[in-house]
Amino acid sequence: MIKTTGYAAQHAGATLAPFEFEHRELGARDILIEILYCGVCHSDVHQARGDWGAKIFPMVPGHEIVGYVSRVGREVARYKVGDSVGVGCMVDSCRQCASCHEHLEQFCVEGFTATYNGLERERGTPTRGGYANYIVVSEDFVLRIPPKADLASTAPLLCAGITTYSPMRHWNVGAGQKVAVIGLGGLGHMAVKIAAAFGAEVTLFTRSNAKHDDALRLGASKVVISTDDVAMVAQKNQFDFILDTVAAPHDINAHLQTLKRDGVMVMVGIPADSIPLYSRSLIGGRRILAGSMIGGVAETQEMLDFCAKHNISSDIELINIQDINEAYERMDKADVKYRFVIDMASLQTEKP
């Protein structure tokens, strides 16, 4: 077993604190990764607080992981010691269903194995995430970080990047299209960058003008204040594609009416409460309301390569692991631009 040190919540809502645990010893196709950086996703906050259904404590959050290969199993062929690699939101799947065979492991019919707050498929032991110095992962769920990529600002791409890239790729966002992004947070700021790199004309919908300049800097050509009824009416029938990144309750009907005929609006945020949907917002323009989540392993690698080619990374604030509880409080107030990333060098431990 591989002794590991991390930060964990001992029960729902507990303050995260140092925690000693063990990872499995390397199997034939496993990789031991020394974690250098881990992004802090808002889903980490929800899961550590027990907001989303099933939960396993003690919980070591973190699924935006970047580090170096420290050791490899005897049959590992894709990676060698010293390679820069990443791990996203999942570390296994059934590998047998239609979705898995189509490289859409995120839609595995048995449910993918989450990087944390999950159970290993063979051993049934809890998975522990990236707020730690090491992780053991099958090479099939490890991503290669492109050369020259900044490791810290690449970490959030493993969740925020692929969550916004995947629906745009699926619905063929590209040059000549008008795309809107709702919300400019950890997901939204990546969506603006990626949509602009796809060649689309990008508009940001936001509730406040405070993010106007940032939106333009990130690649948007226009900002619309969604609380301004006159401004919203002026956007009717304008957009080919809308990506809704907001995780708080909000009125989606006004945004749906800004779609062109046959336009698509995709939700990637997860509001805690139900959101009213009025059918007339859809049927008047044969509009489509859809949902999306992360991507499969192959698509996540494609996203990393795309972002490297277009010089895209996350806007981050680097923190020490000892500051994680303060970071959670600041995230509640949307006080980050736009993703916290933990520098795991702040976690002083001995190598296994």
Q: pLDDT at position 286, please?
A: 96
The Cα 186–Cα 159 span in angstroms is: 10
pLDDT digits (tens), the chain, 352 positions = 899 999 999 999 999 999 999 999 999 999 999 999 999 999 999 999 988 777 999 999 999 999 999 999 999 999 999 999 999 999 999 999 999 999 999 999 999 999 999 999 988 999 999 999 999 999 999 999 999 999 999 999 999 999 999 999 999 999 999 999 999 999 999 999 999 999 999 999 999 889 999 999 999 999 999 999 999 999 999 999 999 999 888 889 999 999 999 999 999 988 777 888 999 999 989 999 999 999 999 999 999 999 999 999 999 999 999 999 999 999 999 899 999 999 999 987 545 5
pTM over 0.85: yes
User: Is 268 in contact with 295 (CB distance < 8 Å)?
Assistant: no
Q: Looking at this protein, which amino acid is placed at residue 118?
A: G
SS3 label, residue 31: strand
The Cα 7–Cα 184 span in angstroms is: 28
Class of 2-159+295-346 in CATH:
alpha beta
Provide the 8-state DSSP code for 295. Answer: -
pLDDT, tens only, 253-264: 999 999 999 999
Instruction: Indicate if 164-291 has the same CATH topology as 2-159+295-346.
Output: no
Q: pLDDT at position 351, please?
A: 52
Domain ranges for the chain: 2-159+295-346, 164-291
State the CB neighbour count (10 A cutoff) for residue 28: 11
Q: pLDDT at position 270, please?
A: 82
SS3 label, residue 341: strand
Domain covering 164-291 assigned CATH 1.10.357.10 in the classification? no
User: Is 245 in contact with 191 (CB distance < 8 Å)?
Assistant: yes
Tokens of 86: 């990443």
The answer for residues whose C-beta is within 8 angstroms of residue 314's C-beta and 6 or more apart is 39, 153, 154, 155, 156, 157, 160, 161, 186, 189, 190, 338, 339, 341
The Cα 128–Cα 150 span in angstroms is: 25
The Cα 124–Cα 277 span in angstroms is: 40
Asked whether the CA dihedral 331, 333, 339, 342 is positive or negative, the reply is negative
Q: pLDDT at position 350, please?
A: 46
Q: Pairing relation of β-strands 143-144 and 84-87?
A: antiparallel
